[in-house]
């Protein structure tokens, strides 16, 4: 099962798929309804331009329209992803709209297609997708709820839902701070409180373990001393800088109590020079000086898990 941009799909089969839908069906709008093949070809080109933000009508935002293709190669549905929201979309249609061709309904294609579209949304930096659904379209509401939707609010006609685009915690790499125990849980509390938004490690740690550097956009599951995932983090920036270039801002962002570069350096060098740390390396006598490279990773919490939403740093420590 895969999503393919409309302009990359087979033109004839795509035309036939769009011809299956009326102009409006339960809130799913098909602007291509009634078009002949010649006009449809122009429309497809316009969609490609719109995905790049070119030639947008007033009040529109960039969007990508996809064809859902099943494992047998059949064209089964259409999914539209708006790259961002404007004021009208925030109280209306939201990020995603979709429709499944009549002959393929009731087979789970909408759920699979929505999950694939949520993956595309995550790639665009959308942490939470906003959708709407007619109240009498219970099947579509169930599709959204199968993908993790919660009803945010409603009016007389529609439910308005929100879906986190983050993968399930069990499918993410762990974000482990320090060893299990009081110090890890203190750091977890600082992260949940928004005080700690960065972490630092020596480049030699990555080299020793032959581990790739963190990348912007990567997600991880923050775990506490019980190995319980408590939040999902996303990497927002990665600085590789000499130890001698650490600034007060770096110290403050790490959020562990140091407010100057000098204090931060004293704390970290004490740890990095401790036998317990150095004995983990093939060469425990590696030099540590102004030129030693530090990997400084910035992150933010994009999703709180379970009952963590109302816990502060102190509150978390009291309840673990």
Which is more confident, 125 or 47? Answer: 47
Query: What pLDDT sits at residue 113?
Result: 93
More confident residue, 108 or 287: 287
| Burial (0-12, 13-18, 19+ Cβ within 10 Å), 199 | buried
The stretch 20-29 carries a mean pLDDT of 89
Specify whether the CB–CB gap between 187 and 257 falls below 8 A.
Answer: no
Span 179-188, average pLDDT = 93
Q: What is the mean pLDDT of residues 188-204?
A: 96
The answer to whether 27 and 133 are in contact (CB under 8 A) is yes
Residue-level pLDDT at 211: 81
What does the pLDDT average to over 146-171? 85
- Top pLDDT among 217 and 182 is at 182
Distance CA(234)–CA(240), nearest Å, equals 18
pTM (2 d.p.): 0.57
For range 135-151, the mean pLDDT: 88
pLDDT, averaged across the chain: 90
Whether pLDDT at 91 is above 90: no
pLDDT score of 53: 93
Q: What is the CA 292 to chain-centroid distance, rounded?
A: 32
Higher per-residue pLDDT: 116 or 307: 116
* Per-residue confidence (pLDDT) for residue 306, from 0 to 100: 58
Q: Does the pLDDT of residue 166 top 80, yes or no?
A: no
Q: Is it the case that residue 73 has pLDDT exceeding 70?
A: yes
Task: Determine the distance from the C-alpha atom of residue 165 to the mean position of all C-alpha atoms in its chain, rounded to a whole number.
Answer: 5
* pLDDT tens string 245-298: 999 999 999 999 999 999 999 999 999 999 999 998 999 999 999 999 999 999
Residue 272's CB: how many other CB atoms inside 10 A? Answer: 20
What pLDDT does 312 receive?
41
Joined tokens for residue 88: 């009208």
């Amino acid at each position: 099962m895969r999503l393919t941009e409309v302009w990359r799909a087979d033109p004839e089969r795509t035309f036939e798929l769009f011809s299956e839908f009326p102009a409006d069906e339960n809130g799913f709008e098909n602007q291509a309804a009634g078009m002949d093949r010649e006009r449809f070809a122009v429309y497809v080109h316009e969609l490609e331009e719109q995905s790049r933000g070119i030639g947008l009508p007033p009040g529109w935002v960039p969007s990508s329209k996809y064809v859902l293709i099943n494992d047998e190669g059949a064209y089964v549905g259409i999914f539209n992803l708006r790259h961002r929201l404007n004021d009208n979309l925030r109280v209306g249609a939201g990020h995603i709209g979709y429709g499944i061709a009549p002959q393929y309904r009731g087979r789970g294609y909408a759920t699979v297609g929505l999950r694939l579209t949520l993956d595309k949304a995550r790639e665009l930096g959308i942490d939470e997708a906003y959708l709407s659904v007619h109240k009498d379209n219970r099947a579509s509401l169930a599709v959204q709820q199968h993908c993790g939707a919660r009803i945010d609010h409603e009016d007389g006609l529609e439910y308005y839902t929100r879906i986190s685009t983050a993968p399930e915690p069990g499918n993410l790499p762990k974000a482990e701070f320090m060893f299990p125990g009081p110090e890890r849980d203190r750091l977890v509390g600082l992260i949940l409180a928004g005080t700690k938004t960065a972490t630092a490690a020596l480049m030699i740690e990555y080299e020793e373990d032959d581990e790739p550097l963190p990348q912007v956009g990567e997600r991880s599951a923050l775990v506490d001393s019980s190995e319980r995932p408590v939040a999902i983090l996303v990497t927002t920036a990665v600085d590789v800088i000499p130890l001698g270039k650490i600034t007060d801002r770096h110290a403050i962002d790490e959020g562990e109590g140091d407010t100057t570069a000098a204090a931060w350096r004293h704390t970290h060098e004490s740890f990095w020079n401790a036998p317990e740390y150095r004995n983990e390396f093939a060469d425990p006598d590696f030099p540590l000086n102004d030129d030693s490279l530090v990997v400084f990773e910035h992150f933010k919490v994009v999703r709180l898990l379970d009952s963590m939403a109302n816990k502060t740093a102190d509150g978390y420590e009291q309840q673990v």
